[in-house]
Amino acid sequence: MLINHLSLPWHADNIAGRTSTMSMSRWWLCLLLSGPVCFISAEYIPPGPAYPCPKDAQRQLLYPCTCENGTDAGLHVRCENVGLAVLSVGIGNIAGLGLPIERLELRECKIGRLFGALLRRVRVRVLHMVDTPLRSIDETAFEGVNTTLQELYMRNTQIGTFPKEAFRILGNLSILSIDGHLMQSLAQDIFVGSAAAGSLLRLHLPNGLLADIPPEAFLHLKKLRTLDLHGNRLSALKRNQFRGLRDLELLDLSYNNITKLDGSHMGDLTKLGWCNASHNLIADIPRGMFARNTVIKVVHLDNNRLRKLDTNAFRGMRFLRRLYLQDNQIAEVGRGTFAAVTRIGTVDLARNYITKVDFQMFQQVKYAEIINLAENRISVIERQAFTDLYQAVVNVSHNALADIEVGAFQNCNNLTALDLSHNRLTAVPRGAFDLNTYAFVLDVSHNRFEDFMQIPIHNMSGLSVLNASHNALRDLPKLAFPKLYELHTVDLAYNNISLIGNAAFQNLFSLRYLNLSHNALERIGPAAFGALATLLHLEAAHNGLRDLSRGALARLASCRTIDLSHNRLETIFQIPISLSELNLSYNNLTEVRSKTWPAMNALLSLELEGNRLGEGELAGDSFVPLLTLQRLGLARNGLAAPPWQALNALSSLQYLHLQYNNITTLSKSAFGNLPTTFEVDLSHNALAAVAPGAFRGLPQLLRLRLAHNRLAHLPNGALQGLVALRQLDLSHNELERIDNKTHGLLDDCLSLEEVSLATPRPALLRHAPPCSATPRPAPLRPALLRHGVLANLTALQHLDLSHNRLLDLVSRTSEGELVLPRNLSELVVSDNLRRRLPLRALLAAPQLRRLDVRRNALAAFPPDLVRRVREHDLHVQFEGNNLTCDCSARPLKHLVSRLPRREAPDEEGYAALRCAEPPALAGLTMAEVPEERLRCAAGPAPHPPPDPPSDDDPVYALGAEPDVVFRDVQCSQTAVSVSWLVSSARDVADAVLVVRGADNVVLHREALPYHVRSVTVPVEGGLRRALAEAGADSLQVCVLPMTSEGGALEWHEAQCRTLEGRFASWPRKLSPGRRRAAGRRRGASSAAGGGALALVGDSILLTLCIFIGVCFRRLADVDL
């Protein structure tokens, strides 16, 4: 039950059976209990939906389909990347379980022709066929769902002719969508005599080749509300093109080649409310285009070739609310153009050729909400161009606007937003606006204002946001702002402001955000800001500030963040006690003196990166008053050692950044006592030595970054005491080995989840002698890890060993093999020199989900690894290896053929892997190379897999993959019983069973529908004589599959089975189980699709019976 629908927790089909023992009072109690929750959750509550997804063993019955979720109306099922024969098994079993399907998606299925009994016994309401190369649909294909199917969606198919006969029986169809097709025209009678014509509400035929549609094509769709024809090749519409569609409300003709659209084309569309004719070749709007469409509200004519608008363009469209004319060639808009559409809410004229906003152009659009004139060629706004606007957004940005005349915005008191940015304005006359204009947002950025007083804010008493950035403002005079009680955001960045007058912001009583960055300020006086009690954020970065007067910022009582980075400050100023974040990076600070700070319990983050603190001194009490400091940035300061005395007082510090310094050595307890520190970053230093116990005093450390240093060795006690460590980054160092001797390096780090030991190739080059200009490469590294070094790291999830030139992962002098931690989920060994994978260790890591072996010297993708990819969701990145495309690559090819095609090409997917050998296949991807060319010479394969598959599954076999695999062949003197399964993901549908004798003489031939998996051949006539005379060993039974369009597939030897034994020694009759199979076969032939459950074996039937019995037992035991 979906509780946000407040539906009862039972289904209409079984009310009687489940409510026989429940009184009405108990039902009301259930409703009262579930009522309060129905507004706060959209999940099913116990007992859940009426039709939940099958669980455990039953889930296998749905293969190749998967149940995505269950609902009260039925299941949501997705099937992908198979043909009709395999698809019929899963859908047939769903029908056998009696489960309705609310939504069935057939994605990337290998079906060229849809026919047969696939949907005959199943109940489907919504059917999606996506990315399937469907070319035709038989007239009986939808038998069985003709009374239940309401929505049919076909996307990216190869339908060339409208399948009118197939749709004729769909009497309840309300939505039909064929999106992406090859139809070039429609016949006049596609809906004549069709049961769907009386119920169809929405018809979508977009993204095809339609160039001709007769006016009678949709004549019989009396209830049609939506017609979508976008993305076709329509060029000329016929007179009364949409005849009979008097109830049509939405029409989409966009992305065609239509050159003309007028009233004669749409005369019958009297209820049309939304019309999209964008992205066509329409050159003008003729008089009365929509004269008969009197209720139309939205018109899209953007991306056409319109050149002008006149007073006759929109006559009769009195209810029009949205008009989109952007991306045309409109250069002229006549006076009174919009007089006929006084209720208009949106007028979009962006990206046209308009050069000016004429007198009274927008005079009568008092209900306008958005007027967009951006990206035109407007140079002037004439007087009374905008009149009587109320709460409108006016966008005139990205033009060549240099002049706004007096009275241009008349009676526009309550503008929501006015965007004049990206123009050439140097001044705006005060008379351009009324004396009291309540614009909320004013954007004049990217103009040429030099004098702040020329910005028109003095009449805008309701202004909330002012953006004047990217101008040429020189200074802010005293009392620069009038009394603006609502202004909370001021952006003056990227100007040339060098002086801020006293009390410049004094009249801004609600200011919260002030941006003065990227200006030319050198000094801020004591009265520049005054007492801005509401200011929260101040940005003054990228100036030339050398001095802040004492107390200049101290009176900002509510300020939370101050950014003064990239200035020239040499001393730290007096800061507000309320401050929580202070950024002083990239200044000229050389020391932090004692008593610099007041006693503060609000400052959480202090950024001092890029200063010169290494030249001065950080005293022991430099940070003592910062009682709650959590983040301290000391990067790029030239520090030679961690300032442990200054750090020792920061009992609340959580993040310490010391990267890009000159630290060469870490002594014992190098950081003092930091009990709450989570992260220490020492990357990009010159660290060469780490003493045992160097990180003592950091009991809660979670992340330690030592990358990009010069570490060649880490003593075993270097990481002692880091019991909480989760991430360790030792990449880009010169480590030769990590071992597991007594009191080893990682003994205390049992919580490690991520370890990076990557080393780039350049770092592995030894410096050449001074007389040589060519570096000498470092010798190959046999191994980085000793055996067992990772075994105790049970929490390790990510291990990076890339760029190490490794031949192996474990030292050859070690005993045993590599043992990966049980919880390892990601292993990166890319850019090494490995020729083989530690397959046994990889298969023994149950949580491994990502393996990166790119750019090694691997020649084979082992079959057992293919199995792990397919069955356990392992993602292997294999690009850049020397893949040999012989028979050992066939399991990988089989995997590629089964993987669903992605929406966008995956450059690093299995299908994109390229062959390196043999020369004839070099450069081809696995998707391109034919399977029959993956051959091995006689004898063992040149690159055999280290651990070949342990069973006969054709997916992982080194031989060519057959389309059909035999399950069983039973013989008797009266009949031969044959059963098989379809193992291929190709387009496999019907099959032909052939019994052949010596010299390929056909003794029996039988055509079989695609849902049949077993057949009984009577031993009689020529077959009996051949058995008696030549013996059974000379006869073969073959199952030859066909494509859905009737084509023959290539023959594989595994698709034939030789009959064994002597005919005289065969039993007289088949076993009872075989007789049942024969009966099911006859029933399936006589009643199409009547044996869906016969597609599975006796063991699956037994499981099904047990499940049904358990279900009935549980229903009987439920006390409702």
User: Residue 977 and residue 1016: Cα distance in Å, rounded?
Assistant: 4
pLDDT tens, residue by residue, 501-554 = 888 898 898 999 999 999 999 999 888 888 888 999 999 999 999 988 888 888
pLDDT of residue 9: 32
Beta strands 499-500; 475-476: pairing state: parallel
Band of pLDDT at residue 1059, cut at 50, 70 and 90: confident
- Greater confidence (1076 vs 115) lies with 115
pLDDT tens, residue by residue, 195-233 = 999 999 999 999 999 999 999 999 999 999 999 999 999
Band of pLDDT at residue 161, cut at 50, 70 and 90: very high
- Say if 290 falls within a structural domain: yes
Residue 26 has pLDDT above 70, yes or no: no
Averaged over 787-802, what is the pLDDT?
Answer: 78
pLDDT of residue 735: 81
- Say if 996 falls within a structural domain: yes
Residue 239 has pLDDT above 50, yes or no: yes
Structure-token match 């192996």, residue found: 808
pLDDT of residue 288: 78
- Say if 192 falls within a structural domain: no
Averaged over 262-274, what is the pLDDT?
Answer: 89
Band of pLDDT at residue 615, cut at 50, 70 and 90: confident
Residue 759 has pLDDT above 90, yes or no: no
Residue 33 has pLDDT above 80, yes or no: no
Residue 698 has pLDDT above 60, yes or no: yes
- Say if 347 falls within a structural domain: yes
The set of residues, in sequence order, having a beta carbon less than 8 Å from that of 616 and lying 6+ positions away, is 590, 591
Please give the torsion angle defined by the CA atoms of residues 268, 272, 276 and 281, in that order, rounded to the nearest 10 degrees: 30
Residue 1113 has pLDDT above 80, yes or no: no
- Greater confidence (595 vs 269) lies with 269
CA distances from 936 to 763, 858, 889, 1055 (A): 41, 18, 10, 21
* Closest by CA position to 941, among listed 956, 958, 922: 958
User: Residue 719 and residue 716: Cα distance in Å, rounded?
Assistant: 7
Whole-number mean pLDDT of the chain? Answer: 83
| CA angle 580–585–589, rounded 5-degree value | 105
- Fill in the amino acid letter for 757: L
Residue 7 has pLDDT above 50, yes or no: no
Pairs from 1050-1054 (Cβ < 8 Å, separation ≥ 24): 1050/932, 1052/960, 1052/961, 1052/962, 1052/963, 1053/962, 1054/954, 1054/959, 1054/962, 1054/964, 1054/965, 1054/966
Band of pLDDT at residue 749, cut at 50, 70 and 90: confident
- Fill in the amino acid letter for 210: L
Q: Which of 289-303, 726-740, 1100-1114 has the lowest mean pLDDT?
A: 1100-1114
User: Residue 111 and residue 172: Cα distance in Å, rounded?
Assistant: 25
pLDDT of residue 31: 34
pLDDT of residue 151: 97
Q: Which of 1031, 1054, 1070 is the last residue of a domain?
A: 1070
pLDDT tens, residue by residue, 277-317 = 999 999 998 887 887 888 999 999 999 999 999 888 888 88
Q: How many domains does the chain have?
A: 3
Q: Which of 353, 375, 396 is the last residue of a domain?
A: 353
pLDDT tens, residue by residue, 971-1020 = 888 899 999 999 888 899 999 999 988 778 888 999 999 999 999 999 88
pLDDT of residue 597: 84
Band of pLDDT at residue 1103, cut at 50, 70 and 90: very low
pLDDT tens, residue by residue, 831-847 = 887 788 888 888 888 88
Averaged over 1023-1033, what is the pLDDT?
Answer: 80
Domain with 291 in it: what CATH number? 3.80.10.10
- Say if 1047 falls within a structural domain: yes
- Say if 879 falls within a structural domain: no
CA distances from 848 to 636, 852, 891 (A): 38, 11, 20
Averaged over 618-637, what is the pLDDT?
Answer: 90
Percent of the chain residues topping a pLDDT of 70 = 84
Residue 964 has pLDDT above 50, yes or no: yes
User: Residue 27 and residue 9: Cα distance in Å, rounded?
Assistant: 10
Structure-token match 């083989």, residue found: 836
Averaged over 1044-1066, what is the pLDDT?
Answer: 85
- Say if 275 falls within a structural domain: yes
| DSSP letter, residue 784 | S
- Which structural domain range is residue 36 located in? 1-48
The b/e string for 868-899 (b: 16+ C-beta within 10 A; e otherwise) is: bbbeeebebbbbbbebbbbbbbbbbbbbbbbb
Percent of the chain residues topping a pLDDT of 90 = 49
Residue 1119 has pLDDT above 60, yes or no: no
- Say if 763 falls within a structural domain: no
What does the DSSP assignment read for 682-705? --SS---EE-TTTTTT-TT--EEE
Domain with 1015 in it: what CATH number? 2.60.40.10
* Closest by CA position to 1016, among listed 1067, 968, 965: 968
Residue 80 has pLDDT above 80, yes or no: yes
pLDDT of residue 808: 62
Band of pLDDT at residue 399, cut at 50, 70 and 90: very high
Band of pLDDT at residue 335, cut at 50, 70 and 90: confident
User: Residue 430 and residue 412: Cα distance in Å, rounded?
Assistant: 14
Residue 1089 has pLDDT above 60, yes or no: no
